[in-house]
Structure formats: C-alpha cells, structure tokens
Amino acid sequence: MNKRLIKALCFICCLSLMLSVLSACGSSSGSKEDKKPYLTGTTTNVESTVGLAENDKFRLDWDAEVANVTITDKATGYVYSQIPLDYLNANRELLTVVNNSYDPEVPIPDYVPDEKSVQLYSPMFINTVMIATDASATLYASVDAYKRGRVGSEKIDGGIRVTYYFDTYQMSVPVDYTITEEGFNMSVVPTDIIEGMKDYYVLSVGLSPMMCSVKNDAGNYVIVPSGSGALMYTDSRGDGTPRTFSGEVYGDDPAVEVYEKLSNKEESRLPVFGAVEGNRAVCAIIESGAEKAVINAQVGDASLGLSSAYVTCFVRGYNRPVSTILAGRIRIRTHVQDALVADEPITVSYHVLSGDQASYSGIAKYYREWLVKNKGMKTSAEGELLYAQVAGGFETDELFLGLPYKDTRALTTYGEATEIAKKLYEISGGSMVLNMVGFGTTGVSYGEVGGGFDLTGASGGKKALKKFLSACEEIGISPFFNFDVVRFKSASSGLGETAVTANNAAAKQYVYDRSTKLRQTSNYHYLLQRAELGKAVKKAMKVVNKYDIPGIALDSLGSIAYSDYVQGDYYNKAGMAAQVTELFGTIRESEKSILTNQANDYAAVISDVILDVPTGSNMNVSIDKDVPFYQMVFKGYVDIANEAINTATNSRVQFLHAMETGTGLSFVLTEDYTDETVLAGEAVFYATVFEDNVDTITEMVNEAKAYLTAVKSAKISAHSNPTNTVSKTVFDNGVSVYVNFGDSEVTVENVKIPANDFVALGEGGTVIG
C-alpha cells in the first residue's frame, strides 16, 4: 500500500514537473499556429497615385516605386514626406522597391545598404528579438523590406495601408496612413503583425522617423514632453554629431525589472511632441495606445541635415529578469511575451500648425484644446495661493527584547495638522489646498494597499480625525486624503494580489541603494494587480464617504502606468488610461474632488487638483531648454501646483518657476522631525518641519499674492525666453510676467527685473504687487 502510494506520488511529481517545464517552454517559444501565415509570393500594390485621398486641407499621395507616402498641405503647399523629398529625388534608384516574389526555399537576395539611408530615411523600422539567443536586431524598411523583402499596399478609407514584408525573418507589419481635417494619422494594429519564423519576435515598431522633420537650424526646434517639457534646437554643432532623446510615454514600465538605477529622471507625462520650423509646426499626439509608445528625437546630425521626432511603439510586453548565477554573477536577459499586445491600434495623429501657432506655445494651446474636445477636460479652473501636503508619519523598525517589530512613528498628529491648517489658512487668506499624505497604517512608508484604508493610527484615532475634519470645515478648508492604491508591501482588506511581469513573476519595486545604485534585494514593495484597482478605489471611497472627507487624493494611480501580465488587456501598460479614466469617473459620480500628483494626461484631465507638476525635464544632455509645457497645457483648466518649494534643490528657483506659470506655492510639511528618518531612509523630511518653514511660506505668499490672485483663473497664451535667464509668460487676461532666474538684474522690453526675481504687469502695463 505504502509502495503504491509512493509510486503514485512520484508519478504525480514527475508529471507536474514535466507539465510545468513544458508549459514554461510553451510560454516563451510561442504557439503561432493560430496566427495568419506569412505571405509568400508577390504582393499586391496600389499604383502610384496623386490624390489617393484628399480633403479641403490635405492631399495624400502614394509613390509606389519607392513606397513613399506624402501629405501635401494645400494651403502652404508644404509636403510632408516619409522619405525627405530632397534625398528621395537624389537617390530614387537607391530607394526603389525591388518587390521580389518570396519563396522560403529561395535565398533572399544580398544587399549592402547605404549607411546614411538605412536608419532615418527609412519609412519605418522594427526592433526584433530572437528568443533562443536573446539577440536583438533592427530591421529597416528601406533595406529589409525594399531590397530584401517586399512592400504591399491597399487603399483604405481616407488613405492607404502599407504592409512592409521583412522576408529575412518572415515578418510583416501593416501601417495605415490617413489624412484628417487637421493633418494626418499613422496607425499600427499590433495583432495584424505577422511573424512567420519560430523564435523571432517583433518587439517594437518605429513609425516614419522623418515625417515630422525640420531643417537643421538654430531657429528650429523639436519639443519633447520630458518632465515639464523640453526643447532641442536643431542646429548642427561642433563636429555635427547627432543629439538624441528617447522617453517612454508615462514613464518606464514598473513591471520591468531594473537591477541598478543609475540616475533619477523626470518621466514623460503627456503623449505629445512636435517640431517647429519658422512659420510651420507639427503637433503630434499619440491618440491611442500611448502607454506603449516611446517618443524619440534626433537633432543636429550634420550628415542628414534634418532633425526629427518620431514614435516607436512596443507591440509586445517584455521583462529583463535578473538572476544570480554561480559565483554571484549577474545575468540579465530579455524575456519577451509570447502574445502581441491587445488589438487596440497605436495611432499617432500629426496636426499641422502655422502662423502664431507655430511655436511650443501654439502646440500647447492646440493640445489643450484637443484635450477639451476629445478627452472632456474642463474649460476653467481657479488656482489657489498655497498647496500644502501634510505628511502623517512613517514606519520604523523597533525592538522589544531584541525582537523586531514595525511601528508607525507620527510626524504630524491630527491635532497638529489642525493647527498647521489654521495657520496656513491665515497666511493664504483662505486660498489654499490641503492634502493629507501618509495617515494610513504605515504612514508614508509602503505598507498595506491604500494605507490599510484606515486613517486612524499613529496620528490619532477616530475622534481626532473627526475633530480635524470638523475644524477644517469650520475654517473653510476642504482637505484631501491620499490613498496609495497601487503600491503595497503586505496584503490586507482582501487586497494583495500582485501584478505579474512578462515572465510570470510578481512585479516588485525595489528600493535602490544611494551609494551602490543597486537594488536592495530585501527592500521592495509590490504593484497591485490591475484588475483589483477598481476594488481598491471603492474601498478608498468607502473611507472617504464614511468620514465625509471632501476630496480623495490618488497620487500613484494618476501617475504610474504599469503592465500586468495576468490579463491580456493589460500587457505592456495597455489600457491604463482607459482604466484610470473609468475609475476616476466613478469618483466623479460621487461628487468628491480628485487630487493627483505628477498626473499623466489621462488622469490630469479629470482631476480637480494636480500637485508636484515637474518644473524641468529629465536633464538629458541633448536637451537645450526646459519649458513649462505641462503647465501651459493645464493652467487655467485644472488647478495645478509645481513640486514642493521647501524640498527643492533651490527653493528660490522653485518659487520663481511657480511665478513663471502663475501656479500656486507648494510645500510638504510635518510638525515634527526625528533623526530616525535618517535610519529609515526617508528622503524628504530633512526640510519639512512647519516651524522651520512658516516664515518662508509667509514671505513667499506675501510676495506672490497680488500676482497669483490676478492670474488665478487665467490661461497661458504664450511663453518665451527673451534672454537666456529671463522668461516671459503672457496670460489670456492680459497679465504678463517676467521672471529673471539669473544672478544679475536684467532689463527686457523696458522692464527692469531684479536678480532672482519676477515682475508681473497688468493689462495696461502696470506693475502688479
């Protein structure tokens, strides 16, 4: 009997082991049987046509010989071409599509490309990964489809679908080009991509790198949405080597493992970019599938003579799992998800602007109007003078007879928060926003989902909370309470399922060591499974309703876009915008105000208040100038405030950034300080004590009060930099402000601006304040 049992157990073990191994193999090698077969033979093509699609403003032409799509702006006659026309005309023979008939048995013709044409003069390219060897390769249409493969085309409504066949790896990628009333669109449907060879996968697709290009000249520039927004001037400098930028829209995917974090960076929050050349500009908006897109730019390459910005989009999820192999060696490999991302198309729309709109101010204006029209953004919002984020506490390690336990140390109790609120109310004259952060079970430290959905703990019990809320009501403040519903360390309240990476592991977010830059293997938190976000928001709303709190803050939900490979709809961050929009919509229905921090566009348009708006870019060496593009888009539409002044590198500069865009003054505050924050590795509390900051807050509020009141509901009409150190912002109510970031007094347009100061002028040119 026993022997039988043992045998049976052994058999079950072996079977399950085999099954797990086989299923693991299956998940990576991919079962492509259900996909369409790769097309052999010859392709069908639309003949070269002028006016293949046309409307009042634009005309789409198709040049079948070189497989080039051009769009002509009828008003100006300017032609937007996938392959720059000058180059195309001079190298037509080089770019002619061979269009051989493909037979897998016949070797693919050899072709030595002209290096210059390969990369950027190609209408599209794909990045591929070979699963077995982890080797990646980039295939350019101009070589691998034109010469070693084929190009097919078919007319579609409003344009043309061009399919690029890369015979070498048996991959085909169809791209739709259509014209619209404002310009033109490019679109890829990931599930239409065909991969005919086992083990060779398409990872991402680059769309028309030169379509949004401008000539290399110091007056022209490309705008990228890095952080607040940034300009890259297109002149060739020095030895004319290119300067490049690349940024994933909504930031790097947290579900992709990172072994070492060598730097901090501001993420790209808006799916928009553009290029400006003299009187002409293009505003490109990633209308759908933005979560999967990367915005790239290259400028100043003397050998090309052109600079451009373009999109590459991931069509499949991936991870870079880190494994420690023998002798402590680190191995990082790319694990590519078998399935392509959901069939939501990745669409980039290019909007042609001219005249006054041909500037980054014009692009900002155009984009916000687009948000109003297409994303339902409100058309007005009043700003406040002061934005305070009061932190409740943090988690510390304590010992009881040598036995460690976690405890939450309060830095601000509800009673103290009441006093802070009263004082701030007095300073600001009532024009303030109060956001309570870290009042859950573990304070600001990562703990349970949504801080355990419990606002009574180290900072005070129910009674204290209610007293605080009634005091706020009495004063006239409507506080927000923050709930981190995305990041957590331990399960609670029935929530605790983690999001999963592309290689089926729990998505962990590590804390990185300040000095070694490596991740601390025992210090991490998780991301909540995407499907559970709705449940978490509901629980947060329940707490908010229970205590009748006027506003809910969802810092992480509005700013973190992440993948979850539990469900196909969430691969490669897919559907994050739609999901957050839906969740915020439910909050809206309950008539609660919403506050977000560093909000991505989809969360920003539906928020009442956005805090921690970045004031700079990711400081890429190729960036020439940071501009407050984000603020230009949202000021006057959503109540916004920049990153906190008191914890900034330079508080005065941070104050001036607020003046530059007429946004309120933001501070992070606590009542208390303890050196235990040093041991706990907390980063912000060195400068947050209210007592240390109250004088500065009073001075700054008094200094800015008149001006901020004058522009509290104004929208930004224009922004410029008359000199290297001075910025000028014009609001739609006629108020303008000059901000001097330099260390010496400057006179601009007859306005004398003291060093490190600002001058605001009313409609008639009178100085405000």
Question: 90: closest CA among 117, 64, 128?
Answer: 117
Task: Verify binding: residue 744, another protein, rule CB under 8 A.
Answer: no
Question: Which span sits near another protein by CB under 8 A: 7-15, 97-105, 503-511, 531-539?
Answer: 503-511
What value, to the nearest 5°, has the Cα angle with vertex 690 and ends 684 and 693?
85
Please answer whether residues 509 and 563 qualify as being in contact, where contact means their C-beta atoms are separated by less than 8 angstroms: no
Number of residues that bind another protein (CB under 8 A): 100
- Under the binding rule (CB under 8 A), the answer on residue 112 touching another protein is no
Q: Closer CB to another protein, residue 468 or residue 690?
A: 690
CB 382 within 8 A of CB 712: yes
Q: Report if residue 599 touches another protein, rule: CB under 8 A.
A: no
DSSP string across 646-699: TTSSSHHHHHHHHHHHT-BEEEEEBS---THHHHTT-SSGGG-BHHHHHHHHHH
Specify the 3-state DSSP secondary structure of 478: coil
Closer to another protein by CB, 225 or 575: give it: 225
Position 46, amino acid: V
Q: Binding of another protein at residue 516 (CB under 8 A)? A: yes
257 lines the binding site for another protein (CB under 8 A): no
CA distance 292 to 315: 7
Stretch 403-442 residues interacting with another protein (CB under 8 A): 403-405, 437-438, 442
Nearest-approach distance from CB 615 to another protein, in angstroms: 8
Q: What is the DSSP string of 124-142?
A: EEEEEEETTTTEEEEEEII
Q: Which is nearer to another protein, 634 or 685 (CB)?
A: 685
Residue 94 vs 689, nearer CB to another protein: 689
Binding status of residue 247 toward another protein by CB under 8 A = no
CB 606, min distance to another protein, A: 21
Residues 114-153 that bind another protein (CB under 8 A): 131-132
Of the candidates 16, 29, 44, 470, which one interacts with another protein according to CB under 8 A?
29
From 170-178, 304-312, 467-475, 513-521, span contacting another protein (CB under 8 A): 513-521
Return the residues of window 72-111 that contact another protein according to CB under 8 A. Answer: none
Among 36, 104, 686, 767, which residue interacts with another protein (rule: CB under 8 A)? 686
Q: Is 294 in the site for another protein (CB under 8 A)?
A: no
Residue from 3, 93, 476, 649 that binds another protein (CB under 8 A)?
649
Query: For another protein, which is the closer residue by CB, 506 or 684?
Result: 684
Label residue 690 left, alpha or beta by phi (over 0 means left) and psi (-120 to 50 means alpha).
Answer: alpha
CB atoms within 10 A of CB 516: 9
Is the distance from CB of 439 to CB of 447 less than 8 angstroms? no
- The region of 75-83, 152-160, 646-654, 702-710 touching another protein under the rule CB under 8 A is 646-654
Q: Which of residues 335-354 bind another protein (CB under 8 A)?
A: 335
632 binds another protein (CB under 8 A): no
Candidate list 150, 280, 525, 715; residue touching another protein; CB under 8 A: 525
Residue 660 interacts with another protein (CB under 8 A): yes or no: no
Would you call 391 helix, strand, or coil by DSSP? strand
Is 454 a residue that touches another protein (CB under 8 A)?
A: no
Choice from 74, 198, 237, 588 touching another protein (CB under 8 A): 237
**According to CB under 8 A, which one of 77, 325, 373, 476 is a site residue for another protein?**
325
Query: Which among 473-481, 515-523, 588-596, 602-610 is the span making contact with another protein, rule CB under 8 A?
Result: 515-523
Nearest to 471 by CA among 415, 528, 540, 410: 415
Phi/psi class of residue 451: alpha, beta or left (left: φ > 0; alpha: ψ in -120 to 50)?
A: left
Of positions 41, 476, 514, 744, contacts another protein by CB under 8 A: 514
- Within residues 378-407, the interface with another protein by CB under 8 A covers 391, 394-399, 401-405
Ranges of H-type helices in 43-113: 85-90, 92-95
Query: 219 or 681: whose CB is closer to another protein?
Result: 681
d(CA 479, CA 469): 8
Residue 457 engages another protein in binding (rule: CB under 8 A):
no
In this structure, are residues 535 and 489 in contact, taking their beta carbons and an 8 Å threshold? no
Beta strands 346-354; 551-553: pairing state: unpaired
By CB under 8 A, which span of 117-125, 173-181, 261-269, 701-709 interacts with another protein? 261-269
Alpha helix (H) ranges present in 164-312?
Answer: none
Looking at residue 423, what DSSP letter applies? H
Query: If binding is defined by CB under 8 A, does position 692 make contact with another protein?
Result: yes
DSSP codes joined into one string, 107-119: PPPP----HHHHS
Among 445, 459, 600, 736, indicate the residue that binds another protein (CB under 8 A).
445
Pick the closest to residue 272 from 374, 162, 157, 378 (CA basis).
374
Per the CB < 8 A criterion, the answer to whether 165 and 62 are in contact is no
By CB under 8 A, the residues from 474 to 493 that bind another protein are: 484, 487, 489
Which span (307-315, 331-339, 413-421, 700-708) binds another protein, by CB under 8 A?
331-339
Site for another protein in 552-581 (CB under 8 A): 555-556
- Lookup: tokens for 215: 């000539």
In contact, 485 and 449? CB cutoff 8 Å: yes
With contacts defined by CB under 8 A, name the span among 84-92, 207-215, 425-433, 517-525 that binds another protein. 517-525
